[in-house]
Amino acid sequence: MNFQLPDIGPVIPELVMTGLALILLTAELFIKNKKVLAFASSVGVGGVAFTLIGASGTTFGGMFISDGYSTFFKLIFFINAILSILISVKYIAIEKVNFGEYYSLILFSTLGMMIMASAADLIVLYLGLELMALSTYILAGFIRYDVRSNEAALKYLLLGAFSSAFLLYGISMVYGLTGTTDLKAIAQFITTHGLTANHSLLLSMLLIAIAFGFKIAAVPFHMWAPDVYEGAPTSITAFMSVGPKAAGFAALGRVFMIAFGSMQFEWTAILIPLSILSMAVGNIVAIAQTNIKRMLAYSSIAHAGYVLLGVIVANNEGLAGMMTYLMIYAFMNIGAFAVVIMLRTEGFKGEDIKDYEGLAKTHPLLAAIMLIFMFSLAGIPPTAGFIGKLYVFMNAIDAGYTWLVIVAVIFSVISAYFYLRIVMYMYMREPKVEVSISTSPSMNLALIVTTVAVLAIGVFPSIVVDLAKAAISGF
């Protein structure tokens, strides 16, 4: 028996991440001060980011690939993980759930996302997805004594399992038709056997699209999102509004572009309605929300609609637009959630948008920062949110989807209404209740990083755009 150890070069980041998560899980038993864990995990993730430099190539018989595309997404996941950890430290103490597993679970979930981004095989993709999802289910229900948190976890679990079933069904049908789960091999089989018009294949593609639709919370597969986002600990809401969504897009982009590359016409026909519905439902329903976490949940649904435009374009430029958008979205969305968390103090939820009334008077700096995030989410320059939208729109118009962009910009004007309503509450109303804020050094750091990033990318978009272009060049 000739056994050869696979080349582990490309998976070093994943291995280090696994090790880090396991060490932290063990160390948690001995460390009383959980802040140490937070520090260790965020620095550790930063360290893992450096191992990305050396990792490139394919391994495990072509099942795992580390390329520019996956590396860029892993950067998004790391930013997401670090920022989420930074905003959690004080928050989970206030919620009285200051357990060390919290940080390990974030790392495991991030590991799952990394595997998803690097999956060149549907089975690996599924493994990564489940690792990510299972860790996030637990995190969503982390406030054990809170009914809403339990409800969120259960709902997330049930609908997540439901979507996994769709994915598995789709994968098995693809396997049945093509005899392989390798993305490149599937593509080759489809073209050589002329399967592009095969109805079963179309059905399997549709099933896979539905599964990803759940993960990225695109309408009509979004029903779980508002409840889960509202019920989960706010720091986890921030985490999963960016990470799993970005991971879903990473997988969606790779599977559809590579495995179903020859069926672009069919899958764009599936994704266009998803995109329009997401923008429409997300933006319009957000207007009616009174809970800011729910509002941001609907906003995140709407943003999935914009990002989908990047996939619909179905070329490398489109993917670069999608990646840029997600990177920017990570900063501005976590930044907004950070502000939401700061309003949570002992005995005060701070989740009602009425709690923001007069914030500019009581806490002017925090209000100004929230203003920047709100304008960025609305896509108004000179903030990063505008750059994300512009890049996606540019690619879509280039690909001939001008009408779709017109739809998108009209919905983005509608979105301005509810984002600016928060600004209006903060600046144009008098404070009704005494709102105090919970500050901590790590939170301040997170706010500084996100604010600077949102403004810097807004004025010097080259930072991200060039990176995304370079990342996609070898795709």
288 binds another protein (CB under 8 A): no
360 binds another protein (CB under 8 A): yes
Q: Which residue has the tokens 């490309």?
A: 10
Supply the minimum distance, in Å, between the C-beta of residue 461 and another protein: 6
- What are the φ and ψ backbone dihedral angles of 66, each rounded to 5 degrees? -120, 105
386 binds another protein (CB under 8 A): yes
Instruction: Find the helix or strand (DSSP H, E) in which 175 lies.
Output: helix 147-178
Of the candidate residues 381, 437, 438, 475, the single one contacting another protein (CB under 8 A): 381
Supply the minimum distance, in Å, between the C-beta of residue 471 and another protein: 13
**Euclidean distance between CA atoms 340 and 238, whole angstroms:** 10
Q: Which residues contact 46 (CB under 8 A, 6 or more apart)?
A: 78, 82
What amino acid occupies position 61?
G
Per-position x/- string for 399-438, each x denoting binding to another protein as judged by CB under 8 A, each - no binding: ---x--xx--xx-xx--xx--x--xx--xx----------
* Residues in region 97-156 near another protein by CB under 8 A: none
445 binds another protein (CB under 8 A): no
Number of continuous H segments (helices) and E segments (strands) in the chain? 19, 2
* Number of residues this chain uses to bind another protein (CB under 8 A): 34
CA 433 to chain centroid, in Å, comes to 34
Rg value, the chain, Cα = 21
Which has the closest alpha carbon to 391: 289, 302, 316, 284?
316
Q: Which residue has the tokens 């991440």?
A: 17
Supply the minimum distance, in Å, between the C-beta of residue 456 and another protein: 13
Q: Between residues 334 and 465, which has the closer beta carbon with respect to another protein?
A: 465
The length of the chain, given as a count of residues: 475
397 binds another protein (CB under 8 A): yes
439 binds another protein (CB under 8 A): no
**Euclidean distance between CA atoms 437 and 165, whole angstroms:** 43
Whether 235 and 339 have beta carbons less than 8 Å apart is answered as no
Supply the minimum distance, in Å, between the C-beta of residue 389 and another protein: 9
Q: Which range, of 16-24, 250-258, 305-313, 387-395, touches another protein by CB under 8 A? A: 387-395
Q: Which residue has the tokens 């755009």?
A: 465
275 binds another protein (CB under 8 A): no
3-state SS assignment for residue 361: helix
Bridge partners (DSSP) of residue 345 are 348
Q: Which range, of 41-49, 147-155, 214-222, 464-472, touches another protein by CB under 8 A? A: 464-472
Of the candidate residues 25, 258, 272, 394, the single one contacting another protein (CB under 8 A): 394
Of the candidate residues 6, 46, 364, 441, the single one contacting another protein (CB under 8 A): 364
Q: Between residues 62 and 364, which has the closer beta carbon with respect to another protein?
A: 364
Supply the minimum distance, in Å, between the C-beta of residue 414 and another protein: 9
460 binds another protein (CB under 8 A): yes
Q: What is the DSSP string of 6-36?
A: ---GGGHHHHHHHHHHHHHHHHTTT---HHH
Whether 281 and 301 have beta carbons less than 8 Å apart is answered as yes
Q: Between residues 190 and 360, which has the closer beta carbon with respect to another protein?
A: 360
Q: Between residues 244 and 358, which has the closer beta carbon with respect to another protein?
A: 358
Q: Which residues contact 360 (CB under 8 A, 6 or more apart)?
A: 367, 368, 426, 427
What amino acid occupies position 353?
I
Q: Which range, of 104-112, 139-147, 186-194, 374-382, touches another protein by CB under 8 A? A: 374-382
> Would you tell me which residues interact with another protein (CB under 8 A)?
360-361, 364, 371, 375, 380-382, 386, 390, 393-394, 397-398, 402, 405-406, 409-410, 412-413, 416-417, 420, 423-424, 427-428, 460-462, 465-466, 469
